[in-house]
Amino acid sequence: MARWQPHAPERLLLAALELFEERGYENTTVVEITERAGLTKSTFFRHFPDKREVLFGGGTMTALLINGVDTAPADAGPLEAVANALDLIGRQAFTADRREFSARRSAVIAANPELREREALKELGLIGSMTDALKRRGVPDLTARVAAELGGLAWKIAYERWKGATGQDDFSELARQALVQVQAASTMC
């Protein structure tokens, strides 16, 4: 086996997803994942701290969200900065070629309580990262928290719509629509 193999994280992710679908999350080991990917156990742990994390992309989403908020126009309000972050995620992470993979990943997560818990914790972390990025833009704490929470809810709604769509629905557009709907609903409460 070569010392360095290209695209190791993606290969490990695909191998893990296949094995989780075939055998279940609980019945799959890191060694089995690495063997399926044609990599070593040490390569796995260079990219992921544990077996659960292989489905959650490390810090990729966090970096995209922070970058999206940071690169929003200077005069953008908090929700527009969040929308900018959701646009960036749509362009870079939720592309049409990833739809089937995302649906498969969601099914694996839904089938396992440990993975559902990890996903919930990741979502909280993403909302916290958006909150912090908004505060760095000078948005007051409570406003930043509300905008980030609304953004997180819009993201979840858009993601469900996007992965279940059969057409060419664009995640960014679905996220913007969901953000408008969530904002409108919050004023009715």
* Structural domains present in the chain: 8-54 (1.10.10.60), 58-188 (1.10.357.10)
End-to-end alpha carbon distance in the chain: 59
The structure's pTM equals 0.86
Cα four-point dihedral sign 41, 45, 50, 53: negative
Q: Please answer whether residues 161 and 147 qualify as being in contact, where contact means their C-beta atoms are separated by less than 8 angstroms.
A: no
Q: Is 82 exposed, middle or buried (CB count within 10 Å of its CB: 0-12, 13-18, 19+)?
A: buried
Distances (CA, A) of 156 to 7, 10, 118, 124, 174: 28, 23, 15, 12, 10
Distances (CA, A) of 33 to 19, 22, 162, 172: 7, 12, 28, 32
pLDDT tens, per residue, the chain with 189 residues: 445 567 899 999 999 999 999 999 999 999 999 999 999 999 999 999 999 899 987 678 899 999 999 999 999 999 999 999 999 999 998 888 888 899 999 999 999 999 999 999 999 999 999 999 999 999 999 999 999 999 999 999 999 999 887 666 789 999 999 999 999 998 887
Place of tokens 């080991």: 29
Q: Please answer whether residues 130 and 104 qualify as being in contact, where contact means their C-beta atoms are separated by less than 8 angstroms.
A: no
